[in-house]
Amino acid sequence: MAFTIAIDGPAAAGKGTVSKAVAAHFGFAHLDTGLLYRATGRRTLDGTAPVEAARALRASDLEAGDLRTPDVAQAASRVAAIPEVRQALVDFQRAFARRDGGAVLDGRDIGTVICPEAEVKLFVTASDAVRAERRFRELRDNGFDTTFEAVLADLQTRDTRDSARAAAPLKPAEDAVRIDTSQMSIDQAVASAIAEVDARL
């Protein structure tokens, strides 16, 4: 049986952590759709044209080790504004969403465009300062030499571009449940997401 959980929200709001934990809790498959745009963006840094890069994407590209860098994040956000790039990635995401056994997809447009019929839609947010602090620590722990201010500016540039674009902008679906994780621990955010899913299973 297919059962789709759509989890959207801005960068570093906790979507990834919540999605992984929800998928593990229910035994569902998980797709971080940001990786599709990151892998596409990464290829463009080598000079490949964006649409060509998206069409040539293979599942194994999502496992590349260097997709989490700030440069790749910005490249991802740039290619993600191109309608033909988004179109090239739709079928893969929809097939994943309807696979047997249940699926969690996290991204920006899952509840609005990719899976408008998802059984559960969550919109995970947090304040800019909290998101930048979390991403700053994560990058620093992974050996990146950066500052809180640089990370905050980077997130805000991406969020503005992601929200302002015409093609599938970042916004909550009308029927999405909002979870603001600013004042929550990871365990609290995960528990509240699981409670929302339980209420609809």
Using CB under 6 A, which of 158, 173, 181, 193 touches ligand C5P? 158
Residue with tokens 């990719």: 114
Instruction: Pick the closer one to ligand C5P by CB: 117 or 198.
Output: 117
Using CB under 6 A, which of 33, 44, 112, 181 touches ligand C5P? 33
Residue 38 in contact with ligand C5P, rule: CB under 6 A: yes
- Burial of 124 (C-beta count, 10 Å sphere; 0-12/13-18/19+): buried
Task: Please give the angle made by the CA atoms of 36, 144 and 141, to the nearest 5 degrees.
Answer: 90
Sign, CA torsion 147/17/8/51:
positive
Token code pair at residue 7: 């989890």
Q: What is the closest distance, in whole angstroms, from the C-beta atom of residue 93 to ligand C5P in the complex? A: 8
Using CB under 6 A, which of 50, 102, 107, 111 touches ligand C5P? 107
Q: What is the closest distance, in whole angstroms, from the C-beta atom of residue 18 to ligand C5P in the complex? A: 12
C-alpha 195/C-alpha 18 separation (Å) is 12
Q: What is the closest distance, in whole angstroms, from the C-beta atom of residue 166 to ligand C5P in the complex? A: 12
Residue of 7, 11, 24 whose CA lies nearest to 119? 7
Residue of 101, 76, 95, 107 whose CA lies nearest to 169? 107
Residue 76 in contact with ligand C5P, rule: CB under 6 A: yes
Instruction: Pick the closer one to ligand C5P by CB: 125 or 162.
Output: 162
DSSP-based three-state secondary structure for 27: coil
Whether the CB-CB separation of 12 and 132 falls below 8 Å is answered with: yes
The string of DSSP codes covering 126-156 is --HHHHHHHHHHHHHHTT----HHHHHHHHH
Q: What is the closest distance, in whole angstroms, from the C-beta atom of residue 162 to ligand C5P in the complex? A: 4
Residue 121 in contact with ligand C5P, rule: CB under 6 A: no
Residue 154 in contact with ligand C5P, rule: CB under 6 A: no
Using CB under 6 A, which of 42, 108, 121, 135 touches ligand C5P? 108
Instruction: Pick the closer one to ligand C5P by CB: 88 or 162.
Output: 162
Residues lying near ligand C5P in the complex (CB under 6 A) are found at 11, 33-34, 37-38, 73, 76-77, 80, 107-110, 158, 162
